[in-house]
Amino acid sequence: MQRIFGRKKEQKKDDATVKKMTDLEQLVGDDKETYDALTSVMFLDPRKIGTPMKEAVDKAKKSEKEKDFVSAKMWYEIAGGLAIFEGDVKKVIEYYTGAERVSGRKYLILKNPEKAVTKAQEYYKKYLHD
C-alpha cells in the first residue's frame, strides 16, 4: 500500500494469529495431554517454595485430620509439585491422590504421571540453572 511521499505503510500482524509458545509447550510438542497435566500442577521454579516437601505433607495430613479440606488440598498440591521437581513419581501419585480425596477435583497428572514427571524433569534440567 502506497502512502504520500512513496513510503509503504507497514502492515501490522494480527496479534491473535501470532502466538509465542511457552518453554513448556515447546518441550512437550504436540502432547497436549501432558502439557495440560503439567500446567495446573507444576511449579516453574520450585526452589522458591519456602516449605520442604515433608513439612507440606505433614501439614496436609494434619489439615485433613482436622477436616480443613481447603488447607489439606493446598498442602497436598504443594507437596505434589515438589515431588514433581524431585522426579518422584510414587510421591506424585500419593500426594495428588490425597488432593483428589479432599477436594473432589480430578488431577490430569494422575492419568500418566510417569510421562508428566519425565517431561517436567526435562524442563527443569533445561531451564533451571543453579
Average pLDDT, the chain: 88
Domain holding 32, by residue range, is 20-125
Residue 8: the pLDDT is 56
The answer to whether 72 touches 102, Cβ cutoff 8 Å, is yes
What is the pLDDT, as a whole number, of residue 25?
85
Contact 38, 44 (CB under 8 A): no
Domain membership flag for residue 9: no
Quick check: is 50 in a domain? yes
State the pLDDT at residue 2. Answer: 53
pTM over 0.85: no
Domain count, the chain: 1
Residues 40-55, mean pLDDT to the nearest whole number: 94
Question: Is the pLDDT reported for residue 105 higher than 90?
Answer: yes
Q: For residues 41 and 109, is the Cβ–Cβ distance under 8 A?
A: yes
**Exposure string over 50-59, b if 16+ CB within 10 A, otherwise e:** eeebeebbeb
In a domain, 117, yes or no: yes
Residue 100, domain member (yes or no)? yes
- Does a structural domain hold residue 29? yes
Cβ burial, residue 75 (10 Å; 0-12/13-18/19+):
buried
Domain membership of residue 130 (yes or no) is no
